Structure 1
Amino acid sequence: MSAVLVTGAAGGIGSQVVRLLAEDGHHVWAADRVMPDPQGWSDPERITPAVLDVSAERDVVDLLRGIEESGQQLTGAVHAAGIVHAAPLLETSVREWDEILAVNARAVFLVLRESAGLMIRQRAQDPGNRRGIVTISSNAGRVPRTEFGAYGASKAAATSVTRSFGLQLARHGIRCNAVSPGTTRTPMVTSGWDGEDRSAVPVAGSPEDFRLGIPLGRI
């Protein structure tokens, strides 16, 4: 039986990825810091929930070993786990910086390294080389935002690491792609709205905060 790993499975994007994969007939290992409830999906029998701290190497190694020992073939992995921290860099503590880089950057390295390692060991089971890995990054990794310096840096790292894995895994027949969505209505995003509907703000944009000119105001 083939399987797909999804991290951040209890989150807004991750939970929908799990649902769609299960409905498409895949067996999904749904991992998150809090045990995802498979009854919330339409095909719970196709879902194996797991508790996972994506920034902890031991957790990631043990989860991938569990998938391997289950006898299932890992044909895909979607790394959707992530956190956000909104604050100017001048007001960001070292603890906050380290936390967001651990979850949004180090975890990409760990999850992709271990997932790819298992796929390579199982390559003989997939002569068609249809295996792939996807990282959910963010457009914040390409365009700086005044309140999301640490978040943007972590997502830039996530994208770069994924692309590097793509170059190195091509000879093994494993595809790696980084997807960089814009602001998405998820619980993580709306939790910072203080009960208000602030969806119009990212839609309209703020030229003063996001312009691509010269912030210093001179040449």
Structure 2
Amino acid sequence: MNTTTPLVIVTGACGGIGAAVTQHLLTEGYAVLACDTQEQILSNTQHPTEKCEYYPLDVTDETCVQHLGDYLRQRRQPVQGLINCAGIVHAAPLLETTLEQWRTVHAVNADGVFLVTREVAQYMIEQQPQDPTNSRGIVTISSNAANVPRAEFGAYGASKAAATRVTTSFGLQLAPHGIRANVLCPGTTRTPMVTDSWNGEDRSQTPIKGSLENYRLGIPLGRIAEPEDIAEVATFLLSPRAKHVTMQSLTVDGGATF
């Protein structure tokens, strides 16, 4: 990888939105350090390019995340920013959710955002303590479930709400260093996290129509999102084009929540 090209770290880079974000960043000319679990990295070759390198990362392991920081310091490549895409879903009513399930979904969706953002931000400050152009950015992929109650996504929504708040709080602390931090909240998106539960069928009409029984609105724009839809917005928020945008949470769900 060319170590002079601005580098973006992407967690969950082998997943649906993470993979789309990685591809879009490469198209925009960034170099990408694509971070994900070792097993997925070994089997994933969808971004073979001199500007993309895979790095095995468990976002829930503080020591592993600290090693990422050490690796960045060894590279000395200018870091443009971070996009937190790593996430897991848990679909069950809270009354049927175990403490272990609660902790697992929070470990990835909330703790992971805190650990990786803290590590990468510290290195970005070391590289450039102040940036009057505000060109560097951090983006967390949260969820519209962080904004509204969900009948069967209580633990998931709570974990994403925590990810949202910790990111915007980082934004307040990082603003004097010229580093922006924003949140993107997708709705239902055509990723394996969603489609794996469809058992090979196209059930996209279910979220489009909504469910009065579950107090869930439909999608006014009449379609679920594609990963590329989210990647476009994430790349914009990361880029210097959004240099006066920080500590914001942008919902991208076709109007499903308002």
TM over 0.5: yes
Contact 2:171 2:182 in 1 (8 A): yes
Q: Where does structure 1 lack aligned partners over 5 or more consecutive residues?
A: 213-219
Equivalent pairs counted in the alignment come to 211
Cα distance in 2 between the residues matched to 1:63 and 1:11? 19
Shift of 1:36: 6.2
**What displacement does 1:193 show?**
1.3
Of residues 116-125 and 103-112 in structure 1, the stretch that sits farther from structure 2 once superposed is: 116-125
Higher mean displacement: 4-13 or 193-202: 193-202
Deviations 1:109-159 (A, max 9, x none): 111101110110001696644110000000000111111110000001010
Give the Cα separation in 2 of the matches to 1:211 and 1:26.
Answer: 38
Identity across matched positions, percent: 55
2:31 alignment counterpart: 27
Would the aligned equivalents of 2:7 and 2:80 in 1 still touch at CA under 8 Å? yes
Determine the structure 2 residue equivalent to 1:80: 85
Distance 1:145 1:125 in 2: 41
Matched, 1:120 2:125: yes
1: CA distance, partners of 2:22 / 2:42: 10
Q: Which residue of 2 aligns with 1:40?
A: 46
Tell me if the contact between 1:27 and 1:46 (Cα under 8 Å) persists in the aligned partners. yes
Bigger relative CO (Cα 8 Å, ≥ 6 apart): 2
Cα shift readout 1:154-194 (whole Å, capped 9, x = no counterpart): 00101011111111110110000000010100011101112
Letter in 2 for 1:40: Q
- Distance (whole Å) between structure 2 residues aligned to residue 36 and residue 167 of structure 1: 37
TM-score, normalised by the number of residues in structure 1: 0.91
Query: Once superposed, what is the RMSD of the aligned Cα atoms?
Result: 1.7
Q: Residue 64 of structure 1: CA displacement?
A: 2.1
SS in 2 for 1:72: coil
Gap runs ≥5 in structure 2: 218-258
Give, in angstroms, the shift of residue 65 of structure 1: 1.6
Cα distance in 1, alignment partners of residues 8 and 118 from structure 2:
15
Structure 1 residues 41-120: aligned runs within 5 Å? 41=47, 44-120=49-125
**Structure 1 segments of 4 or more deviating over 4 A?**
124-127
TM-score of the superposition, structure 2-length normalised?
0.78
2:142 equivalent to 1:134: no
Which one is further off, 30-39 or 79-88?
Answer: 30-39
| Alignment partner of 1:6 is 2:5 | no
Change (3 A) 1:70 1:206: same
Indicate if the aligned counterparts of 1:68 and 1:118 stay in contact, CA closer than 8 A: yes
Compute the displacement of 1:35 (Å): 1.2
Partners of 2:176 and 2:215 in 1: how far apart? Answer: 39
